[in-house]
Amino acid sequence: MMSPHTRPRRRALGLVAGAATFTLVLTACSGGTRVGETTQESAAPEASGAEAGLGDVEGTLRIAYWGSGPRVDLTNGVSDLFVAENPGVTVEPESADFAAYFERLNVQGSSGNLPCVPQMQGRQLASYATQGALMDLDPLIESGAITVPDIPEEVIDTGRGPDGGLYFIPYGAAYDAVEINATLAEQAGVGLPEEGYTWEDFGEYITEAQGSLPEGIAAANLGGGLPNYFIAWTQARGEEMFEDDQIAFSEETLAEFWTFWEDLRNAGATSTAQQRAEEPPQTEQRYVAQGKVMLDSVPGNALTPGQATLSGLAPGQELTTVAMPSGEGGSGNVLFTSGWAISANCDNVPTAAAFIDFWANNDEAAALFASNNGGVTNTRHLQQQLDNPELPALKKHELELYQQVIEAKPPTVSYPAGYQANFETAFNRAYETVSLGGTSPEDAAAAFIAEVNAAFGAQ
Amino acid sequence: MTTKDSRLTGAGVRRRGDRTSVLPDVDDLTDPGSSHGRRASGQARREALAAYGFLTPWLAGMLLLTLGPMAYSLYLSFTRYNLLTPPEWQGLANYQRMLVDPRFKASVGVTLEYVAVAVPLILIVSMLVAMVLNQGIRFLPFYRASFYLPSLVGASVAISMLWRTMFGGDGVFNAFLARLGIEGQSWIGNPDTALYSLVALSVWTFGAPMIIFLAGLRQVPKELYEAAMVDGAGPLRRFFSITLPTLTPLIFFNVLLTTVNAFQAFTPAYVISNGNGGPLDSTLFYTLYLYQRGFTQLEMGYASAMAWALTVVLGLFTAFMFATARFWVYYGDER
């Protein structure tokens, strides 16, 4: 028999259960508006055909980029110039540090809320391009909505995804360089490596320098865990890094690379594996910037901030950069570019296209930004900056080296989806099994390739 | 009617128009009976509405921000989900992968070792300091605040970076060892010692359990100590026969909370290892690996499965603690 209290209790329970079900349905459904599903419908009419990306430049434009401090001011300064030229446009910027930027982008992508114009880099591109999160910009170039007459084609190609579509327009090109404490190198009597030096020359250079350096200073920072050194190693041998979203280089190539560094480490010519493990990641805090090692590989645009640190810690010492070692296969330098993309869910494509076009062509904007995120890809702008007598000497050196790298027609590496997450972190960990764990380079190379290929295959 | 009476006459039975009731009696609301009944029903309705009004923010928060996402993550744990494309149902595959994932096993090993070493150390140190502070020393509020302070900032990024400076190869700790004639090493860069530098950080932040122990020590009746001293009990005997048993409810509370927190430790390992759990996965805490899988490798389904596995383990641990409590936790009001 039903007690007098049963009905109300059931109703109360029913109320709670109903609210809970409603909430679950609500939360479950809210996850359904994702980039790949919905946005192409709205974007498609504007993203193809002769009129692609053309239309009224007006309304609000959300842009997002990585960087902090000065770069935020410079990027927002360029946005202000764009708004001044296009009254009726409001630019809403979002910025974060590099790692946090991509994490936030992923979360925004999950709810179909990517900014209209997100900044991209080649190493992350495939993760977004293969998921339909970004718009193919080729039709916008064909229609004239975006014009890139002064950006070399091989640089434009770094914005292409695995399917050949153009997913971002590179405005800045960074390259990896070997940063050398020129003062220490001079004291050690080795000077700087000659242009076109090989990996063999590089090893001899490090060993020779170690013999004459002050106590406690290593000639090189241990580099076996740096993927960018390894990319240069494969390019110098003319080997591909990736093919069909799998690793293309051989186990021997990787094992020999790690053996190269192990020989130097065992000879006492590098920092120790433990020192390397606790090195701060910020470029301005790296050991070479602190004067604790004579050389290391850093992004080319890290020269100025590195020098600022060194000048504070060891006044009088000077840093410089040289190209990466080369080999029979060619230059070891590859470009990694940064640029602007248009998200597939963007509902203001004409303004987004106009914004990107402004970055690619406007002289005043380029002069203001001053190659802050890698050398400016527009060759006219590059020459203007090199000709500027007020350009600081270190920046001038950085841009001249960039010009030297670009003249060598650097190869383009096409990075598979999940490269950053699956390759870069695993690479350092795999080398640690050699340098700290005592695994042989051959075994570590085999294990690393199997692990990364499996991860790429699961993407 | 007392509570005891109501139990005797039938659980939860309420009389119509019982004004002590907060929940509405629906029969009252619809009963077209006496004027007294109508007044009462109007009153009950208003009270019920007020109650639900006050409850709504909490209820909405609980459902929308806690239970809803939790239920959704349970669903995600059975899917393959990379954030950018819709989840694909794949049954128990994520849970099966955990069993063969070497880094998952490594993270479980690291976390268990951390919990096994850090939790007892934190509890012992915090109790010892609480006992020292309970001796009626001068400037007690100052010392209490000083010892408590690290627990407020211990999990912050700034302190984690300070720890790098402390235990790095050129760190303060090695400089101290050098004064003693001992050659130091890179405590953070060495896979054999990196975890213990994090244990040291967690032990340093013993403030919260210490304050709780201190409050408990002040509640121990002084007569017990006096009686024990009259009977000739020494300090050790007094500690094991009076202090420790009296503190068992607080030990229970602190063990539970400290263990659950230790299982979820994240920030120090993230900051000190630059987010990779190195060197050689020696600081790869469970939550750090979960974070890597979810937000770096975009395997949100796998990360959700890991989160639920941890939830189940913590639930089992909590249940075990409560189940065994009656054998070792002493409440003063019990016979």
ipTM summary value: 0.77
The dihedrals phi and psi of B78, each to the nearest 5 degrees, come to -100, 15
First to last CA, chain A: 58
Residue among B13, B84, B188 minimizing CB distance to A131: B84
Query: B71, A275: Cβ pair inside 8 Å?
Result: no
Share of chain B above pLDDT 90, in %: 49
Q: What is the largest CA-CA distance in chain A?
A: 100
Query: B280, A429: Cβ pair inside 8 Å?
Result: yes
Chain A residue with CA closest to B170: the answer is A275
Mean pLDDT of A170-181: 93
Fold identical between A50-168+341-369 and A175-334+413-457? yes
pTM value? 0.80
Query: B188, A278: Cβ pair inside 8 Å?
Result: yes
CATH number for the region B95-328 comes to 1.10.3720.10
Q: How confident is the model at residue A14 (pLDDT cuts 50, 70, 90)?
A: very low
Q: Which residue has the higher pLDDT, A131 or B114?
A: B114
- The DSSP-derived string for A136-174 is --HHHHHHTSS--TTS-HHHHGGGB-TTS-B--EEEEEE
Report which DSSP code applies to A323: P
Among A20-29, A117-126, B40-49, the least confident range? A20-29
Comparing CA positions, the residue from A301, A288, A307 lying closest to residue A335 is: A301
Smallest Cα distance from B34 to chain A, Å: 19
Homologous superfamily of A175-334+413-457: Periplasmic binding protein-like II (3.40.190.10)
pLDDT per position as a tens digit, A115-154 = 999 999 988 898 888 888 999 999 999 999 999 999 988 8
The alpha helices in A48-97, defined as continuous H runs, are 70-85
If phi > 0 it is left, if psi is from -120 to 50 it is alpha, else beta; for residue A375 that is beta
User: In b/e form, how buried is each residue of B199-227, taking b as 16+ CB within 10 angstroms?
Assistant: bbbbbbbbbbbbbbbbebbeebeeebeee
Q: Which amino acid appears at position A314 of this protein?
A: A
Q: Per-domain residue ranges for chain B?
A: 14-67, 95-328
CATH number for the region A50-168+341-369 comes to 3.40.190.10
Which of B89, B197, B296, B304 to mutate to test binding with chain A, by most A CBs within 10 Å of its CB? B296
pLDDT per position as a tens digit, A180-218 = 999 999 999 999 999 889 999 999 999 999 999 998 899
C-alpha torsion sign, points A232, A237, A243, A245 = negative
Q: How confident is the model at residue B270 (pLDDT cuts 50, 70, 90)?
A: confident
Chain B residue with CA closest to A274: the answer is B189
> Which uninterrupted H or E stretch holds B281?
none
Q: Per-domain residue ranges for chain A?
A: 50-168+341-369, 175-334+413-457
Query: B164, A280: Cβ pair inside 8 Å?
Result: yes
pLDDT at A328 over 70: yes
pLDDT per position as a tens digit, B299-316 = 999 999 999 999 999 999
Smallest Cα distance from B218 to chain A, Å: 43
Burial class (CB in 10 A: 0-12, 13-18, 19+), A178: buried
Residue among B23, B63, B280 minimizing CB distance to A433: B280
Comparing CA positions, the residue from A20, A459, A393, A397 lying closest to residue A246 is: A459
Smallest Cα distance from B190 to chain A, Å: 6
Torsion of CA B57, B63, B67, B72, to 10 degrees: -140
Q: Which residue has the higher pLDDT, B97 or B332?
A: B97
Distances (CA, A) of A37 to A344, B3, B59, B87, B88: 10, 58, 33, 12, 14
Among B58-72, B94-108, B155-169, the least confident range? B155-169
Q: Which residues of B touch A (CB under 8 A)?
A: 10, 12-14, 23-27, 59, 63-64, 67-69, 71-72, 75, 82-87, 164, 168-169, 185-186, 188-191, 274-276, 278-281, 292, 295-298
CA A259 to chain CA centroid, Å, is: 27
Query: B292, A109: Cβ pair inside 8 Å?
Result: no
**pLDDT at res. A48:** 62
Which residues of chain B are within 8 Å of residue A432 when distances are taken between CB atoms?
191, 278-280
